[in-house]
Amino acid sequence: MSVHLFCTAIWQRVLDRTVHFVRWDRNLQIALLLFCTSFLVFNSNLRTIGAVDTYAARYLPLSIWKNGSLLLDPIANHVAQGLAVPQKSGQQGEAWWMLKTQQEKLVSMYPPVTPLVVAPLYLPAVIYLNATDWSPQRVERVARVMEKLAASFVTSICVAWMFLLLRRQSEVPVAASLTTLFAFGTSTWVISSQALWMHGVAQLLVIGLLWLAVSQQKSPGRALFGGLLCGLLGCNRQPDAILAMAFVAYAFALDRRNFGFFVFGGALPVAATFAYNLQVVGHVLGGYGLALGGNRILMSWTGTLEGVWGLLVSPVHGLLTFSPFLAFAPLGLLLHAKQPRTRLLSMAVGAAVVCQIFFYGAVNWIAGVSWGPRFLTDALPLLFWALPPVIRHFGVIGRRAFAALGLIAVVSSLIGAFGYNGIAHAAYLGDHPGRNYKEHKVNAEKAAWMFAHSPWKSLPVFFNDLFPGLYGSIDRLSISSDGTATVEGWSLFGSRQPFDVHLLVDGVRIPGGANHFEYREDVAKFMGNSAAGAWKISFPASLMKSDRPVFSAWVRSHPNAPPWALQAFELPKPVVVAPLVALTPAEASWKGAIDVVHVYPNRGVDVVGWTTRGQLAPENLELWLDGKRVAVIDAFHRRPDVEQVLGISSPSGWRVRIPARSLTEGEHQVSVVLPQQSLSLTPQHLIAKKFSVTATAARPHWSPSMPMSDMAGLAAKLLEHQQEVGGYWLTDYTSDTRFDKPGIELNVFSTAAIVDLLSPVSDRWELSGMLNRAKGFLSMQIEEESGLVRYHGRPDMPSHGVLGCKITPDADDTALVWRLAPVSDDKLKARARAMLEAFKTPEGLYRTWLSTSDHYDCVDPGRDPNPADIGIQIHVLMWLNQVDATAAREFCKVLQSRSEDPSFWVYYKKAPAAVVWRLPALRAMGCPIKLPQSLLTVEDADQRLWLRIIERIQVTEAGIDRHELQINEDLLRQVAEGGFSRVWQSPLLYFHNDLTATVRRYYWSPELGLALWLRLFAATEQAGPAAALRR
């Protein structure tokens, strides 16, 4: 009888389970559909969105399978991403997310829970690598793909489980809609699913705990499992211990009988974590404790409210900024609290979320450079659990409003998943690193409140970094006699040029890198395209410790893309080039001379000469400065004087500019050298010439201990030092927006801009003499017959043939010179103005060139051979305002009607500084204009710095609170560092030519940078007490 009853009970239990499964079958189908959809969408962008937080988690699962270890030593080169790892305990290397323990082992700063949880998902990858090989390049590719697949898989489970959780308290349409918002309208998409952040696993654990809590079923097994999830949640991310404590309290109140099982389950991961922390890391707090190194965590209770506000509504990290519909979550918690069944859970959940928000607000609410409210990602399941009562409570209008807010969130996440780059935010933090953690935290908080750093503000950058198609090779190693090693190679992402390349020698990244690429014929034939991918990287040969060093490289396709590893190549050390052996021209059958050596302070040396070997055209030669190779002579032109004397007809003349910015005072030598033809031959010294750098040409001295006021005097001396004898300043130019291998030229525009900028402070630092010389130069450029001015100045100037060409007169320089340095000749001025009026568009805008196109000289026109440009209109308007106020007012209306047209920006589309600088002057004239915001934002961090300086000058001169002057002082010190080295290395990009022309040129002015610095210093000193600036 008892057996019969037992069998009946078993059968009834199986029947009940079957009925239960059938009843839930539709929900499981929907959950599976949501899982598949989410998994596909999460992977559709073909990129990862991670950070240093995710590096260890990306590679550790592979190492766990292969090495059975949580140490980073076997995968150090991968996790470090080419940066230097710490060499001893307590030291912070470039790869600061890796720590060295007292046992000289490398560990991650982050807890190992996430890598351990996802390690089973890596099994297929391990099988694949075992079947092929574990080469660094293959491991890199596999790890990148597996990280994305594992993160998206875990997050897709979260999505499916969230639907089943919501289905317990709402109908299918509501549960499915809210789940869709959870998946695609929050940081679940852009954070959890895109890389192995700890947030994806945290969300999974929170959903599991909610699932157990809402069922309210009591059993030892459920209590044990709940405790295990709680323990894992707190060990995975320590701030989530706050959320875990809410479930601990709920479990204690709901099921005290089985609470011991709950505690035991939680103790398992906690004990394992403490064992890892103590035995492996060597600190009770694990990697975080080791990183702190005994320093206390900075907590500011006074700034807690600001932190809370930042977590909720800041433009960079605000929860409600990115997912505004979550503003209804508190209402949902209140509605849950009215129901006896969910009252206790609602109170626990609400308290946990509030406590976590206040904790982050007090300690650190900045989530680094990442999309949206990353720190609150783990609490999202709790907030979504609260929403179904709100939907039921809403009427039609309320539901439509909720749906509209949800749509905004989905669009926001869509942009983030496919185009988030964080460039502006990262650049600001890079420019304002802070001298210590406290300053860094202040700068980061400030950056998070800047709308310019919001991901919505930046244009999306779409790129594929999972399957980029990287090709390349490291081909050649050479070592010069001065101990400089040069490695040559090439890299291409399909048909696209890389962003930059960083070289590794025996796994160690060397300083510097390459961001300039050239065309190589053999690469073009191999790849079937003409993209420039060849590069050269030089470094001290002493960095190579072995006779057969192994070279590899990290290559990036985009500034914010993770680097990809190029295949490693072993290259033997070559024989070091022997010192020069001088040969007479007769012995070498060469003839030649170095005619001119001209030193341009802080720009370099211009060397002009000729070389020939009879009727044979010269091949590639080298130019050496003081015994070191500095340039290649590979372009030759006809020299009639040489041809007449020697009776030859082959090209022999050449001209080379050596970019030597810091020549010391004294004697130097330049030499023309025939390179070694083989390892057995030495370079041949053909001709040489000595020259001297005088004290006036040597750069003024700088010291890091100089007070700021002395640095201002130094800036003025540097500016005077750069001024040529004729009273002008030279301008650098390049062929693209990178300041690399610049040429130099003489133009009127840059000198006029410096005069205009410094005239209001000409009584400071004895600037008046320098500015008067510049004004004298400008006045001399007004031609006696027409009153017009040419961009390169008068053709009869002594330096004109070397530094410029006889270019057609233009409206811009004519208006500038007549306003800043006019001559006393009203008839000539009227003649010049009449010429400007003769070259206007039908709508009344002034064209660039004051001539018809058939009479152009030295002009490379673009699509419009004579365009009207925004900058030219502004300069003409400022001159008109000086000489004819009525005409200026009428022209202002014309300018205002076109100022927002992007096509109006011909010469400043990628260099808005000159236009931005003029805005206060236009407002003062009563002619404010609106500009297209898309053209006022630049990607380059250095150019953003110069725009920031211009902004601070304008704000300060308009009148600001003295407390804001610290911002100015920080900027001044940043630019003055190293004797104003930033001015020379990353000068102000001031304008460019018409980008539709056949040749592109971008114009840079270090001297304008110095002038802006002086103007900001003067404004800051005028606005507040000067004591700080004297420090």
**pLDDT tens for residues 254-303?**
889 999 999 999 999 999 999 999 999 988 888 888 887 666 666 666 67
289-298, 376-385, 961-970: lowest mean pLDDT where? Answer: 289-298
Burial (CB < 10 A; 0-12, 13-18, 19+), residue 282, is middle
pLDDT above 50 (res 680)? no
pLDDT above 90 (res 770)? no
pLDDT at 389: 94
Number of continuous H segments (helices) and E segments (strands) in the chain: 37, 21
pLDDT, tens only, 524-582: 877 788 888 899 998 888 788 777 788 888 888 876 677 888 877 766 666 443 333 33
Give residue limits of the domains in the chain. Answer: 1-187, 198-291, 297-467, 470-570, 581-693, 708-1030
Place of tokens 């009344």: 844
Nearest to 774 by CA among 825, 730, 714, 832: 730
Element (H, E) at 124: helix 123-131
Mean pLDDT, rounded, for 501-523: 83
pLDDT, tens only, 127-140: 999 998 888 878 98
363 alpha carbon, distance to own chain's centre: 27
Mean pLDDT, rounded, for 402-427: 84
Q: Which distant-in-sequence residues (6+ apart) come within 8 Å of 207 by Cβ?
A: 158, 161, 162, 165, 381
CATH topology of domain 581-693: Immunoglobulin-like (2.60.40)
pLDDT, tens only, 802-857: 445 678 889 999 999 999 888 888 888 988 888 888 888 888 899 888 888 777 77
238-252, 411-425, 455-469, 931-945: lowest mean pLDDT where? Answer: 455-469
Rounded CA-CA distance 637/485 in Å is 32
pLDDT at 8: 56
Give just the sign of the alpha carbon dihedral 213, 217, 220, 222.
negative
pLDDT, tens only, 181-208: 999 999 999 999 999 999 999 999 999 9
Rounded CA-CA distance 28/31 in Å is 5
Measured CA angle at 122 (ends 120, 123), to 5 deg: 70
DSSP 649: -
The sheet that has 743-746: what strands, in order across it? Answer: 743-746, 730-734, 1002-1005, 988-992
| Statement: 470-570 belongs to CATH 3.40.50 | no
What is the percentage of the chain residues whose pLDDT exceeds 70?
85
Confidence of residue 416 (pLDDT cuts 50, 70, 90): confident
965-985 vs 941-958: helix axis angle to the nearest 10?
Answer: 140
810 alpha carbon, distance to own chain's centre: 37
100-109, 230-239, 996-1005: lowest mean pLDDT where? Answer: 996-1005
Q: Are strands 684-693 and 581-582 parallel, antiparallel or unpaired?
A: parallel
322-336, 542-556, 688-702, 832-846: lowest mean pLDDT where? Answer: 688-702
pLDDT at 226: 93
Q: Which distant-in-sequence residues (6+ apart) come within 8 Å of 233 by Cβ?
A: 202, 205, 206, 209, 240, 241, 243, 244
pLDDT, tens only, 581-619: 333 444 346 778 887 677 766 566 777 778 887 666 666
Torsion angle of the four alpha carbons 897, 898, 900, 901, in this order, in degrees rounded to the nearest 10: 140
Rounded CA-CA distance 9/19 in Å is 15
Which of the residue ranges 343-347, 568-572, 905-909 has the most confident prediction, judged by mean pLDDT?
343-347
pLDDT above 60 (res 717)? yes
pLDDT at 640: 64
CATH topology of 581-693 equal to that of 708-1030? Answer: no
Which of the residue ranges 59-68, 643-652, 1021-1030 has the most confident prediction, judged by mean pLDDT?
59-68
* Cβ(859)–Cβ(807) below 8 Å: yes
Mean pLDDT, rounded, for 1010-1018: 88
What is the percentage of the chain residues whose pLDDT exceeds 90?
29
Ramachandran angles phi, psi of 604, nearest 5°: 140, -160
437-448 vs 304-313: helix axis angle to the nearest 10?
Answer: 40
Measured CA angle at 393 (ends 387, 394), to 5 deg: 95
DSSP 408: H
Burial (CB < 10 A; 0-12, 13-18, 19+), residue 194, is buried
Mean of all residue pLDDT scores within the chain: 83
pLDDT, tens only, 733-757: 888 888 877 777 788 898 999 999 8
Indicate the CATH number for domain 708-1030: 1.50.10
* Cβ(592)–Cβ(611) below 8 Å: yes
pLDDT above 70 (res 427)? no
* Cβ(388)–Cβ(331) below 8 Å: no
Mean pLDDT, rounded, for 644-659: 73
CA distances from 292 to 86, 91, 97, 901 (A): 15, 11, 12, 52
pLDDT above 80 (res 463)? no
